[in-house]
Amino acid sequence: MLPSCQQMYGQTLRSVASYIGNTNEQQDFASIILVGSMLCLYECTYAPGCELFSSKQMEKYFAHVFGFEALLMSKDPSFYAQGMLHYIFCDTRFQQITLQLQLRIKAALAEKRWTTLPWMYIPKTTKDVLMDIMADLCCVIAKSDSIAIQGPTPEQASQRKEVELECWRLHQEMQKWTAGLGYPAIHYLNSAKAGVGTRVEPTAEECAITEMSLLYCSACIILYECLRANSDKSDVADWPEETDPRLYCHKIGSFLEFFMAFKQAGKIIQMVIFAVLIGLQFITRQEALGDNLVEEKMALFTSLGDLREVVLGAVDGVDQASAIHHARELSASKQIT
């Protein structure tokens, strides 16, 4: 069966390539985008000639995601305002932004026209609003990393202050989300953490809520790490408890310890990998600065149960692929300059 799948995969890629640029029909374009999303998922699950979740496989996945982002953005944002195209756009945007946040690079879809025009007729969902915040976070974290790479400059203090203010703005947006649209996800997260959650297999709706809970925690780790890195830290002791990124490592660990016992956990394995990856990347960066986050690391490791080897192997593969991606981007930028 696998050889047949690989053959069909190759045929599908060739078909998509022949369609791109040769059609302006809305329905045909929707099909291309939808097939592209499915191909991305195929790459993430089984890339021909690659081990599961290996760095080589993840590199192919990255290439697909970025390739279809370019295809997506070849149309005006209003093109995705109605019908099936709108929902395909939202799903594809989710793939783009989570990958860009993971790679800590600017999100092209964070531009205002891409966060407004596709929703001219259809209201934003809870997930859509969270993705808006995460798209902005991609841009803030990319700016923060750029400042750090530059080293000391006369403008650095003011640049860091700008990033800090942006982080506080996103903090307010996140607080608004948790108190409003995101409340069910936060309630489910806290209930599971406290051991109150039911032991009955989660419903499809609860799986969707789980994804948002993990997205929220992952975004908070990155946001509050960035906030602390760019502040003067003189008043950190007075900051709200929720601005401590370590808190969200424990939240992810406690929640996964609850959720990974269910068969449904396999359905959101990508999001589990994403959340654990974000947590471990944060821990690695902090340990490089001399902090000892043994408790946070154990919280993530012990939560994975029987899927520990698979998830940690995937995290390693994604990390390696990310390093290769950044090295290539750096090399390309040097050649341009």
Share of the chain above pLDDT 90, in %: 35
- Taking residues 308-330, what's their average pLDDT? 70
pLDDT confidence of residue 2 = 41
Per DSSP, the residues of 8-45 read HHHHHHHHHHHHTTS---HHHHHHHHHHHHHHHHHHHH
pLDDT confidence of residue 201 = 80
The whole-angstrom separation of Cα 132 and Cα 124 is 10
Q: Could you tell me if 139 and 176 are in contact, meaning their C-beta atoms sit under 8 angstroms apart? A: no
Both structure tokens of 175: 């607080």
CA-based radius of gyration for the chain? 20
The whole-angstrom separation of Cα 39 and Cα 6 is 11
Distances (CA, A) of 71 to 76, 199, 256: 11, 43, 35
- Taking residues 138-145, what's their average pLDDT? 94
Both structure tokens of 209: 């809520």
Which region among 97-106, 252-261, 276-285 has the lowest average model confidence (pLDDT)? 252-261
Q: At what angle do helices 294-301 and 269-288 cross, to 10 degrees?
A: 160
pLDDT digits (tens, 9 = 90+) for 30-57: 666 666 666 666 665 555 555 555 666 7
At residue 178 the predicted structure's pLDDT band, cuts being 50, 70 and 90, is very high
Share of the chain above pLDDT 70, in %: 74
| Half-sphere exposure (Cβ direction) of 29: Cα atoms closer than 13 Å | 18
Q: Could you tell me if 90 and 128 are in contact, meaning their C-beta atoms sit under 8 angstroms apart? A: yes
> pLDDT: is 288 or 124 the higher one?
124
Q: Could you tell me if 150 and 156 are in contact, meaning their C-beta atoms sit under 8 angstroms apart? A: yes
> pLDDT: is 153 or 163 the higher one?
163
At residue 19 the predicted structure's pLDDT band, cuts being 50, 70 and 90, is low
Per DSSP, the residues of 312-333 read HHHHHHHHHHHHHHHHHHHHHH
The whole-angstrom separation of Cα 170 and Cα 147 is 19
Say if pTM beats, i.e. exceeds, 0.75. yes
The type of residue at 205 is E
